[in-house]
A and B are shown apart, each in its own frame.
Chain A
Amino acid sequence: MHRSFVRLLFICGMCLGPLHAQIEVSGSADFEVATGGEDSRFVTNEINNEFRRPHLSIRELNLFLFSEIGGDFFFNARLQWDIWGSGRLNPLRITLASLSWEPAEGMVALSVGRFVNPFGLYPRRQLSSESSFINAPLAYGYFINVSDTRGFWPAAGKAGQYGSEDVGLTMNYFGGYATGALFNWVIIPEGLDLALAVTNAAPASQQDYTNLQNLGATLRVGFQPAIFWQQGISVSHGSFMRREAVNSNFDRLEQYRQTLLGTDIIIAYAYFELSGELLYALWDVPASDKNGFQIGPDGNLQAYRLSNWSAYVDTRLELPFLPGSYIAGRYERMVFDKYTPPPGSSLSASNPWDESLIRYSLALGYRLARPVLVKFAFSEQIYDDRNLKRDDWTMRLLLNVSL
């Protein structure tokens, strides 16, 4: 079933599209010059250590497809070719493939397939043409000590590369998509809306294939108390672990779940915008150390309850005397709470269960032409543990062309 559902939907959509309507195609390309500190790693600052010296790369190529299949049915797809993880171009992927039913005079919509994750704000602003910054927020881009094969694993992300080794998960999947079914209801236009998704896993899962034992549900309520103020509240709960050789001796991995709560805000006026998100995660997980899973006296996996939160605030000022330009600042915080280890746990030394940190970012942008955006961004991370002097600042210059 590996990715077969999304591929099948993509092929069906491509076949159905030409029967009734033309397929509209557009694309975007991101070219980047990036550099980072000596301790740069994709899982902490999105720059692979191998490429920490200034280098030019094709960061992302996207092909967007849209077709009005007929009447109220639409097909959307995104083909993505990027350097996520390794710093080298990954194989071409279908990151978005959804079939939607949206009646013209209705207030509801239904989508099936792989769609934009309704949780929070960042997934809707993930395209570089839409976001002020280049890095994803910490909640989406910083990998934590929870693995989808080992549960709580203090060694996650300490070594190895994303894609080839187990480096843990982010609080919410940085890709910004989820697979399943999505129901949207605009209750009051420009006032109140609701999105409910049933997905193949919790939002932290990076997997795009269907595992029917893993289920997740996400609810987001968005409302606009005033024209200058948009607010969203999101709740999600679901399983996220996947079967691998390392956990093949254990059953019922779907009992380990992530609960994610969040709120997002946009306040804007004239040339100024303030936006941000607050996410709080609860993890019910097993735990592993270098010798394998922690087994309780009853012979079952020991259960841990971990929690952490992350927040970011973006401020963006468009410069009226230089149309097309902006300056933006971001403050981010990620905090890992202390937990109660089960008796006999060998992981008590890792408490809190990961390194809390602050990240500051600054970004400048200038639109050279309607489809051409240039962005410069700098970020620096400071860890609560002052002995942990990780040199993982980043500096990036990005050219985005969207056609």
Chain B
Amino acid sequence: MRKIFFFIFFSFLLSTLLYARETKVYGRVYIPAVKKKERTFRGRMYRNRLSSRRSGKKASGLRRSVLEDVIILAYPLSFKPKVRPLKRVSLLQKNARFVPRVLPVTPGTSVAFINLDRFYHNVFSISPGARFDIGRRPTGVVVTKTISITGEVRLFCDIHSQMNATILSVNTPYFTRANKNGVYLLKNLPPGKYRMEAYHPDLGTVSEVITVTENSAERLDFNLNR
């Protein structure tokens, strides 16, 4: 009984100390009134009628916020971080769209492409240094590709011209995604100087330099409306 008491006490003490050392950068992302970038209109008239608009409605992004496509990155300027490939990363094709539309990874990460629709999908990229085409794949088939370059890898589906996604390969282990309201939180950043970036595939990047100190919570808002 005594041992259990000490175990709980020290666990509590340790977590309190760790929490006290935690650094946070948080804030909000503002973007302009969103223009649809997906070229759905040509496909609507020329598409195969086997698909109803019911699936297209989900695909048109009405239930998703474009703010979720914003990735917040922290590049350390005062030290060199150890960047390891991520594990178990997947990009889904569901309701004729890529989920997520922006996927942040680190170089060397293997991304599994999974078709969850009842029809064929293809994934191809013609980005320099990352050209690949995995061909048509039926439901459930998983194909893995390793992203070795740094930067944007633009993905498309040869069968559904409105589908597009971006793999953002970055040389930092510190990144997060904004939520549907545009709010983000980056935790456990080692103290130091950082170049903070907000990235959106259609709106570009804005950056700012901040210094993170121990036990601090920095607020940094980004405005992609420029």
Contact = CB atoms under 8 A, between A and B. Distances in A.
A72 to B, nearest CB: 9
Interface stretch (A99-107, A140-148, A199-207, A346-354): A99-107
B135 A318 contact: yes
Contacts of B138: 227-228
Contact of A189 (B39, B50, B136): B50
Given A227-B119, A268-B120, A323 B132 contact: yes
A227 B41 contact: no
B15 interface: no
B51 A186 contact: yes
B41 A124 contact: no
A105 to B, nearest CB: 6
Most buried by B among A65, A103, A227, A268: A227
A24 B42 CA distance: 10
B53 A106 contact: yes
B48 A230 contact: yes
A106 B57 CA distance: 10
22 contacts: A66-B44, A76-B41, A76-B44, A98-B45, A100-B44, A103-B53, A107-B52, A118-B49, A130-B46, A186-B52, A189-B50, A195-B49, A222-B48, A227-B118, A227-B119, A227-B138, A228-B120, A270-B136, A270-B137, A320-B133, A368-B126, A370-B156
The A interface is mostly helix, strand or loop, or mixed, namely strand
A369 B45 contact: no
Interface residues of A, number: 54
Interface string A357-384: 0000000000111100000000000000
Contact of B36 (A24, A193, A224): A24
Given A189-B50, A189-B55, A268-B136, A323 B45 contact: no
Nearest to B133: A323
A370 B154 contact: yes
Given A270-B136, A324-B124, A370-B156, A116 B45 contact: yes
B50 A127 contact: no
Contacts of A127: 42, 46
Interface in A256-311: 268-271, 273
Contacts of B50: 186, 189-193, 222-224, 230
A7 B39 CA distance: 25
Given A26-B41, A124-B48, A324 B126 contact: yes
Contact of B54 (A74, A107, A125, A324): A107
Nearest to B40: A66
B131 interface: yes
B125 to A, nearest CB: 7
B139 interface: yes
